[in-house]
Amino acid sequence: MQVVLFGNPNVGKTTVYNFLTGQRERTGNWHGVTVEAKSARKGEMIVTDVPGLYSLSCTSPEEISSLREIQRAEKLVQVMDASTLERSLQLTQELARQGKGVLIILTMEREFARRGGFLSAKGLSELLSVPVFSYTGKRSERKELLSFLERDPHIPKTFSLPNSVYSVGEWKENRAERLLYRPVFSVSLFCLLTLLTFFLTFSSHSLGSFGKGLIERFFSFLRGQVEELSLPSVLKLFFAESLTSLGSILGFLPQIFLLNAFLVFMEESGYLSILSFVTDDYLRYLGLTGRSVFSLLSGFGCTAVATSTVKTCEIRERKHVLHLLPYFSCSAKMPVYLTLFSSFFRHPFLPVTILYFFGILIGILTADFCPCKSLPSEVAHFCIPNAKNALKSLFFSCKSFIMKAGTVVLAFLLVSWFFSSYSFQMEYAPERSMLSELCKRISFLLRPMGIDDWRYVYALLSGMVAKENVAGILTMYFPNGLDISLPSALSFAVCILTTSPCISAVVTNASVSGKRRAAFESAMQSLIGLGLGYLTYFLLNHPLSAIPVAIGVCLEKIYRKRNAKLKKLHG
């Protein structure tokens, strides 16, 4: 039996779906978290979570996919937010006209009551003649909810809600909420929170640096224990390099934990939704809407996940977001920056922060924006995040990083060690290894950045698979620090920042834009990244050359804007 969970956006469908099935699908207090239908089996039931929709008369691809699942479902379960109950019933009414019965799950009742509202679930069930379940998220409710889903759906008889059953109350915004809805305050607070997060993550005496040091010392101790074992020298070196490489990647776990904690707070509290609302009017001049904020800020966590969220955007806006996303440094690039800058800066907080914002600036300068006319998204209420749900999301993201580092990245590093240690004649000869012979033939790619070492070429290529590989490769080949100049390190960092994202992000882009377009964009992004790396090295060695470059960029933007106006005038 197929059970479809549907309803308006941002009412808690995915939370109920995870609760029922034990899945770990992404949740958040903002519109557009779910962009495609997801199914899981629970006993004899197949539970499906679909994207939100307001009406059966829908046009967007994700809403059409929801409607398709609703039309062929054996049992419909509508999830309703208590604070927006009247709006949810409009969708129920449309289904009733088609002769479709539903079961109703109510969410957010406590928050609604805290805001001064009143809702009687029993009275609502009697009034509509539809089974109603009040969901609170307690673990003891799972069996009760499963038995509730076995009940037969009913077609509602009436849609008028008397005050004895439902009342919004006289809730008013408090001073803090009024401040959050002011653009100047909300954006300023976001900038301060971002800088605070970067400081706690990257500064020398921060929590991130302290945790990183503990993990590195632990793996250094393990390496020492391995070196004392009576093993053949090659085998001992193999295990020692494996531990060093694994420690270099896992050492960044505390910093990734802090960055993800910031993103989870933004999502679960509803502040991300408020930020998108207050910036909507300004982003429209760039061809974006406030809804784009969700995807762009998700890019700081994972580019592949952020790419999957653009399905809720209008086609033109989607194109702009996909252009900007590769310039938003994902959490996998952060270990690369720290590895590159730790050899030159005692406190890498400032250069890493500048590089993050520099990437955003490059994305904006290279984009071809035009005003956007799509409808804005709704705004969610600000609330204190549920600690249990927030911790689940946070630990799941950290678990994914550990699993990736301990399997895919470690396997890649071990294979790299083998091919960089043995020659084609299977002799242990690192100076003429198979990998060095191949990479030396394309080492000319990095010479304009002042780098003439094949190991950096291989590190750059390994980043196409996963950006974490770059940090692991550099640590494995240069355990005592990098042997390049500061301009070369900065140029290489800019190249990593602007080249094509990892293969998983490219594959996700292919599902959104098509295979040919995704492959073309990936190739162009890599060429642009190399070009910007060359330009950075040139400007760092010839600072005065930045003046004509800046003038050229300004003239190019003026030329594009003039052409856009001419096309608008002449059709």
163 C-beta neighbours (distance < 10 Å), count: 8
| Of residues 372, 360, 485, 472, the one with CA closest to residue 413 | 472
Query: Is 506 within 8 Å of 500 (Cβ atoms)?
Result: yes
Q: What is the pTM of this model?
A: 0.72
Q: Residues 6 or more apart from 458 whose CB is under 8 A from it?
A: 416, 420, 435, 439, 473
Give residue 435's region: left, alpha or beta (phi > 0; psi -120 to 50): alpha
Query: DSSP labels for 268-337?
Result: HHSHHHHHHHHTHHHHGGGT--TTHHHHHHHTTT-HHHHHHGGGGS-HHHHHHHHHHGGGS--TTTHHHH
How many Cα atoms are found within 13 Å in the side-chain-facing hemisphere of 195?
7
DSSP H helices, 26-140, are 61-71, 85-97, 109-114, 121-128
303, two tokens? 């580019």
Q: Would you say the C-alpha torsion 119, 120, 124, 130 has a positive or negative sign? A: positive
Reading the chain (571 residues) residue by residue, the pLDDT tens digits are 788 898 888 888 888 888 888 777 766 555 555 567 788 888 788 888 888 888 888 766 677 888 888 888 888 999 998 888 888 888 888 888 888 889 999 998 888 887 788 888 888 888 888 999 998 878 788 888 888 888 888 888 777 888 888 887 766 677 777 888 888 888 889 889 888 888 888 777 778 888 888 888 888 888 888 777 777 777 777 777 777 777 777 888 888 888 888 888 887 787 887 888 888 777 777 777 777 777 788 788 888 877 877 766 667 777 888 888 888 888 888 888 988 888 888 777 788 888 888 888 888 877 766 665 555 556 677 777 777 777 877 888 788 778 877 777 778 777 887 888 888 888 878 778 888 888 888 889 999 999 988 999 999 988 888 888 888 888 888 877 788 889 999 999 999 999 888 888 888 888 778 888 888 888 888 898 999 999 899 888 887 776 776 677 667 666 666 665 545 544 4
Please give the Cα distance from 8 to 382 (Å, whole number): 18
Cβ distance 101 to 155 under 8 Å?
A: yes
Which string of DSSP letters, residue by residue, matches 91-109? HHHHHHHTT--BEEEEE-H
How many other C-beta atoms are found inside a 10 Å radius of the C-beta of residue 406? 13
Domain ranges for the chain, please list them. 2-167, 183-373+384-561
Backbone angles phi and psi of 98, in degrees to 5: -90, 5
47 beta partners: 3, 40
3 state DSSP class of 3 = strand
Rounded distance between C-alpha atoms, residue 270 and residue 484, angstroms: 45
Query: CATH: 3.40.50.300, 3.30.390.50, 3.40.50.1240, 3.30.70.260. Which one for 2-167?
Result: 3.40.50.300
Amino acid at 102: V
